[in-house]
Amino acid sequence: MSKDLFDLKGKIALITGAVHGLGMAMAKGLGNAGATIVVNNYSEDRLEDAVQEYKASGLNAYGYVFDVTDEKAVQEAVANIEEEVGPIDILINNAGIIKRTPIIDMEVSDFNAVIQVDLVAPFIVSKTVVKGMIERGGGKIINICSMMSELGRDSVSAYAAAKGGLKMLTRNMATEWAKYNIQTNGIGPGYFATSQTAPIRVNGHPFNEFIIGRTPAGKWGDPEDLQGAAIFLSSKASDFVNGHVLYVDGGILATIGKPSNEV
């Protein structure tokens, strides 16, 4: 096996919304594999701090402000990135939001907002970036899906609808763009230990107990657990992998749950 199979030196990767959390963890993984990192945020807030954190880790990183749901803004930003940094070889559609509201109480405007960021934005950014990939004869696109691409859960209807749609959009992108040597795949994270989940990961919290009990690995994931999947799907190692969603979930989707002690 070639030692360069997972080498990303010379590659430029755009990771949307990677100013914290799982997106930042994946971006750092790509950066440590040799890629130049480009991250975005919809405002200056947190963007500069994130870029400085990447640089403090010894990574080559750039930050751009643009709204991933605004097609004109995306087109302008991609043109600027490719002129100022270089051609985008890897795109990770990571930006996302969630609104936890029961269906019966959810405003249509809130439902639409989630769909716009979590489903329409990957469509907009991908169709913009892929044009350069087609011209150059290849590229990698990774859509950050979810276990909610497969399962339902109380109060996350818009998020689950968007992520289920993103799974199918991933397959359709693969269908249309594989002939151009472009691999389009997804990553479906499970439940991870991040600052956002800290309040519900305390001992004795019902949801903490539920996740630990529901996950065959018996624990929450570490954000760095996503790096291998991101590097694999960004590298030569995945050149014949297309339209696949790689679930990094500690085995949750593999099981109906832990059985009782009784047979």
CB count, 10 Å around CB of 147?
Answer: 18
CB count, 10 Å around CB of 119?
Answer: 22
Query: How is domain 12-192+223-252 classified at the CATH fold level?
Result: Rossmann fold (3.40.50)
Which residues have a Cβ under 8 Å from the Cβ of 76 and sit 6 or more positions away?
Answer: 66
**Identified catalytic residue from 42, 64, 159, 247:** 159
Q: Please state the rounded mean pLDDT for residues 31-58.
A: 97
Joined tokens for residue 162:
């968007």
pLDDT in tens, 215-248: 999 999 999 999 999 999 999 999 999 999 999 9
Q: Is the pLDDT of residue 137 over 90?
A: yes
- The span from the CA of 136 to the CA of 130, in Å, is 10
Q: Is the pLDDT of residue 263 over 50?
A: no
Query: Torsions phi, psi of 72, nearest 5?
Result: -65, -45
Is 180 among the catalytic positions? no
* Structural domain spans, the chain: 12-192+223-252
Pairwise pLDDT comparison (222 vs 195), residue with the higher score:
222
DSSP string, 93-110: E---------GGG--HHH
Q: What is the reported pTM?
A: 0.96
- The span from the CA of 15 to the CA of 68, in Å, is 11
User: Residues in the chain, how many?
Assistant: 263
